[in-house]
Amino acid sequence: MVLLDEISARIQPLDEGAMQAARTRHDQLTKPPGSLGRLEELSIRLAGITGVPCPVLRRKTVIVMAGDHGVTAEAVSAYPSAVTAQMVMNFLRGGAAINVLARQAGARVLVVDAGVASELGSHPGLLQRKVACGTANIAHGPAMSRAAALQAINAGIEAVTLEIERGVDLLAVGEMGIGNTTPSAAIAAALTGVSIDTLVGRGTGIDDVTLAHKIDIVTQALEVNQPDQRDPLDVLAKLGGFEIAALVGAILAAAAGRLPVMLDGYITGAAALVAVGIAPQVQPYLLASHRSHEQGHQAILKALGLQPLLELEMRLGEGTGAVLTMYLVEAAVRLLGEMATFTEAGVSDRG
């Protein structure tokens, strides 16, 4: 098992030399300086992440972490927990939204079973690293032990390490777990101090009565578990999910491997809060794909210091927003690397 201090020690600052080279090249390209706006900023950031002045990001993967939650017993979701396993099988058959968008982006889909409550069998697109058949009910006690949280984190580290060995250039992270907006809201409340009313949203589309009940359950979970804000691993173990912990590991491993990591929405944002709490140097490696329609995502993005690239009122999860944004990320680096300079094109620069 990889120790957290070991993986954290591998995460290096962004490469300032590569970023300066990217800035210099942008100033020489056949366009007014800064005219590509945030695409220029994005390509410079990607140069710093990868350590390459003109990075090439063509081998793409989305890792979808899956796990079930004991808190679904509190009726906080519009769907039963059995849907987690059913949707994982849909992913593996290629029939979900994430599969459609991944095919369009040319991205590989890898599903990791970190804690689904059903046995899923074997499949080439499935990495089986089940810690347990779902977490315990956070409304009545800790979701998992500290050791189990570390085991799930390690599953995420392993999944990303395997993709790095396959030569991946750009990583997106997503999740599947009925009920997981509830533990995500609890994690966000514990780590940001933002009010629970602000952070708890409608998830899969619950009504007003269920929303009020969900707020009560998150409040109860925080009161029962008393997570230590100074210890992100304690917050994760007491309030989180196995797929959320696996996302934490994936984020840490991506940064350690100088991989840009595209966050999806609310749940991946909660995992990023934990990852940044463990290793603050992770933050520059994070890219916010979109602002979820889920209430509270903006508060998470603000806490992470991230500005999303898109706002399409999406709240599906699965990594859909992250994969959809891969086009913009690839476009940013292709503009940097493939546009002609004024000299190359024989175009007059500014006087």
Residues belonging to the active site = 318
Contact yes or no for 300/201 (Cβ under 8 A):
no
Contact yes or no for 248/235 (Cβ under 8 A):
no
In which residue are the tokens 């994430």 written?
98
Residue of 16, 18, 31, 108 lying closest to 338 (CA atoms) = 31
HSE value, Cβ hemisphere, 13 Å, CA-based, for 280: 4
| Residue 112, both tokens | 């990791």
Please list the alpha-helical segments (H only) found in the chain: 4-9, 16-28, 38-50, 82-93, 97-105, 146-165, 181-192, 196-199, 208-225, 232-239, 242-256, 266-278, 297-304, 320-324, 326-338, 342-345
DSSP classification of residue 24: H
Q: Helix count (H) and strand count (E) of the chain?
A: 16, 6
Number of Cβ atoms within 10 Å of the Cβ of 25: 18
* 297, amino acid identity: H
* Burial (CB count within 10 angstroms: exposed 0-12, middle 13-18, buried 19+), residue 305: exposed
